[in-house]
Amino acid sequence: MKYYMLLALVAGCHAFFQPGAPPPPEQFDDPGSLFADDEVEEYEPVTTTSPAIQEISQKCGIRKDHPLFRAATLNNTKARYAEFNWVVPIFEVMWNGVENYTCVGSLIHPRVVLSVAHYFVTKRNWLIRAGDWNIDENNEFFKHQSIYVATVEKHPKFNAKLRFDAALLFLVSPVTPNQHVGFACLPHSNSVTLPGSACIVTGWGVDSFKDGHISDIMKMSKVPAVSDADCQETLRARMGQAFNLHKSWMCAGGRTGEDACLKDGGAPLVCPYTNSATANQYYQAGIVSWGYNCGLDGVPGVYTKVAEVRQWIDDQMVANGYDTMSYTA
């Protein structure tokens, strides 16, 4: 089976169907061998220091629950307007100016978006929309902010096996925080998301693996966190015994029809703080990376573990002169 054929089955984001993606390896016998352990050099924290250039006063990760943002009646698969105001759709801007929805990210600073690396293998014209909810509507009451991406920094340990699948998108100009534009909270490097945590994933991807359609309005799915051991056992049953859940991954979901899917790549998986003095405050535990199909009963999706890449994120922020307080609870 060819590498790209496997990704058609397991990539939660249609990553390597994009033009310019890295060439596939030759062949392999066991699908799980693609994810078998090999030696990975540890990431060494950067010690560079730079002055913070912007102070952020808005609290991160606040899930909105206010009549001002309640839209017409929606089912429980759609987010309310501005309910998760750090989630941003990402578009590729074509030569003729057409904006093609591609994937998702989370705003962690006025000039920085966190997403997955596998969509940004080649340089393209990227645009984010902060404060967007209905990506097919340009006349929302509160306008979204369209800002181009200046540079993309991928995690240095990212590879074709989707390990350390994380990227930072640095914007050409800052977004303006307001009631419908906020920032995600990120967990510290030593944070652990407990199995069963009531996590939520949001995005605009398709609603099913087959015959799915992009959602105009931001979707939300309730996907409980799954232990590493249970996730590995489940995926080994489908991908072969050589599969090992890498330390840069975590899992969530397993409920029929509730999952991230194609075109949800980079979307934030957020989980509630259990000891926060602030009501409705969530932290981003994961980033949608890949999955075995979408929404199958008992089969969780795989996310980049944000705690595992937090030190790298902090180092990149400091190296660019940005404060880390915008995403620190």
CA atoms of 134 and 56, how far apart (whole Å): 27
pLDDT of residue 211: 66
Burial (CB < 10 A; 0-12, 13-18, 19+), residue 266, is buried
pLDDT of residue 57: 57
pLDDT of residue 28: 29
pLDDT digits (tens, 9 = 90+) for 84-123: 999 999 999 999 999 999 999 999 999 999 999 999 999 9
206 DSSP assignment: B
- Residue at token pair 């072969």: 240
Can you list the residues of the chain whose pLDDT is less than 70? Answer: 1-57, 66-75, 210-211
Find, among 10, 33, 32, the residue nearest to 301 by Cα: 10
pLDDT of residue 4: 32
pLDDT of residue 168: 99
pLDDT of residue 140: 78
pLDDT of residue 70: 58
Find, among 65, 61, 93, the residue nearest to 79 by Cα: 65
What domains are there in the chain, each with its CATH number? 1-35+58-329 (2.40.10.10)
